[in-house]
Structure 1
Amino acid sequence: MRTGLAVPQYGAFATPEAVTEVARAAEELGYDSLWTADRILTPRHPKDPYPGGDGTMPEEYRTFLDPLTVLTLAAAVTERVRLGTSTLNALWYAPILLARTLTSLDVVSHGRLDVGIGLGWMRDEYRAAGVPWERRGEQLEQWLDAAETIWGSAEVCHDGTRWAIPPSSIEPKPVQRPRPPLLFGGFSPGALERIGRRGDGWLSAGLPVPALTGMWETVRRAADTAGRDADALRTVIRVNARLTDTPAPADRVPNEGTVAQIADYLLGTAEAGIGEVEALVDFQQTTSTPGQLLDAAEELLKRLRP
């Protein structure tokens, strides 16, 4: 099983020293990838509940570093690990600008970038970013059309209803050709269909395995319909773990539990037939120092790779 770790980015970990210490150490431990998330505000009176727990956003999210700045810093102190976003809320950014930043990160990391894209869940953030909440799926399709043209074409031209790019040269291109891998988050039928139709993988979460396998079948059917190789798609399972000293009830695993419980859950997903599975674990909500985070990360890795 490939293993990923959420690199320090928010709460008590939102410091350059934490980023560099954990990024270096994670690579030395043997982790395959480092990941960041995308959050721009914590509303006092949110219009939408947080999709987890009792609906309250974690207190740690009040302080949040920019995801691509953090990955650039991690790239500078590592040589091997992949660098991914889980997930970027693509519609907050004009495709020509975000495509340029992502290309730059792929170049400076010598081709180690995985572009994970989602649509988010909070209307307050969309309004603050000046982006329409309605018709997000349709907007994302056009965003992807523009970005893939920027990454792939020698002469770039895009004429959409929201974004238009005149015939232009836009260089450099990404190191990875024809573009960095694109992974999509989401659980709705439309989001799962998009993964199969034009993605390289699925950014999922720590859901019950039967739910994951059912949604994965939707992804595979979409890939088959689009004439794509469903077996080439991958799945990244993100777990925002809260560690306990004693075993948690089964219905709370993997988002709560001992390291052994979380490892057993992740190993079970790898055997469930949902593509090539990569575990992505975030310990920033259950530890308070880089040392504690790395201790948990090392223990998990030993259980996943005995």
Structure 2
Amino acid sequence: MLIGFGLPVSGTWATPERLGRFARAAEHQAYDSLWTFQRLFVGVDQAVDPVYRSVLDPLVALGFAAACTETVRLGVAVVNLPFVSPAYLAKQVGSLDVLSGGRVDLGLGTGWSEAEFAATGASGERRAARTREFVAVLRTLWRDEVSEFDGEFYTLPRGRMDPKPAREGGVPILLGGSVPAALSRAGEIADGWVSRSAHDLTQIAKDVALVRAGAEKAGRDPDEVRIVCRAVLFRPGRDFLAGSWEKIREDVAWLGTQGVTEIFYDLNFDPTIAGPDVDAAAAEDRALDILHNLTPRGLS
């Protein structure tokens, strides 16, 4: 199973120096991928986790990380598609893929924050249909010499978008979501599925089955669909992905037996690391300890 690491993008540990340092350290320790996430806007009276108060833009952070590394893959989990046009995102992500040498994975979600929908002027209606069109527009812009699309939500006149992504066929697309229809849709139209921070990974087998059933329904090989899980460590009140380093490694190995193909440790959801009032130096020390003790290389 491939193992990645979440970059410092939330809270006081999200500084240029630390982002570059963790990107280089993760690559050196043989992590397969680096990950970011999106949080655009928080309402003043909105009840959200403190780690959401201050978050770097996910694509800008990946661009920074790309310049600091050479081979590690770069993923975002996720960009919320109602907040941006597919053509604009295709240009951003395609450019990042070119500049990074074909290392990008694009995760897409449909959003949940009412404040963000209001701030971006986006609609929360008919998200499933919008998602299908959004993915179709990305595909034609990345794959076709001349693109054209006429849908309910998005329209492309005949035209070209160059340069194409470095990877033939375009940037791999992962869809988020936790309800059965979203899981099935990921298997149908995307390269894989990515779990959210609050997902109960102890029940992952049933989610994997829904994703793979969606792929089979679409006439695709279900074994080729990626199952990517955000691993939030040391979650209060849960024994899974907590305890000793060996216990966490055993939990990760168990996820592999449930059909998971990739995980990434995301410390941005640990309030002792990414909280808005945490001492940044102490957060860095704790995060580096985790990075080194859980490295795929097996070093400490």
Pairwise CA RMSD of aligned residues? 2.1
TM-score, normalised to structure 1, is 0.88
Partner residue of 2:114?
123
In the alignment, the residues of structure 2 paired with residue 202 and residue 146 of structure 1 have an alpha-carbon distance, to the nearest angstrom, of 19
Counterpart of 1:297 in structure 2 is: 291
Match of 2:252 in 1: 266
Provide the rounded CA distance (Å) in 2 between the counterparts of 1:26 and 1:229: 32
Give the drift of 1:241.
2.2
Of the structure 1 ranges 282-291 and 84-93, higher mean CA displacement relative to structure 2 is found in 282-291
Q: Does 1:75 align with 2:66?
A: yes
Residue 283, structure 1, aligned to residue 274, structure 2: no
Q: 1:146 aligns with which of 130, 137, 140?
A: 137
Contact 2:177–2:195 (Cα < 8 Å) also in 1: yes
- Match for residue 224 of structure 1 among 206, 216, 231: 216
* TM-score in terms of structure 2 length: 0.89
Letter in 1 for 2:286: Q
Write the distance in 2 (CA, Å) between the matches of 1:151 and 1:175: 10
Q: Distance in 1 between matches of 2:176 and 2:208?
A: 12
- Which structure 2 residue ranges, 5 or more long, are not aligned? 274-279
CA distance in 2, matches of 1:302, 1:83: 17
The residue aligned with 1:155 is 146
Shift of 1:74: 0.3
Question: Higher relative contact order at CA 8 Å, sep ≥6: structure 1 or structure 2?
Answer: 2
Residue matched to 1:253: 240
C-alpha displacement of 1:144: 1.2
The answer to whether the 8 Å contact 1:260/1:303 transfers is no
Match of 2:34 in 1: 34
Letter in structure 2 aligned against 1:213:
A
Question: 1:283 touches 1:296 (CA, 8 Å); kept in 2?
Answer: no
**1:221: how far off?**
1.5
Greater Cα shift, 233-242 or 193-202: 233-242
How far apart, CA to CA, are the structure 2 residues paired with 1:9 and 1:16?
A: 10
In structure 1, stretches of 5+ residues that fail to align are 47-55
Is contact 2:6-2:34 (8 Å) kept?
yes
1:88 Cα shift? 1.1
Q: 1:133 matched to which residue of 2?
A: 124
Relative to structure 1, the CA distance from residue 264 to residue 42 in structure 2 (aligned partners, 3 Å threshold; closer, same or farther) is: farther
User: Number of matched residues?
Assistant: 288
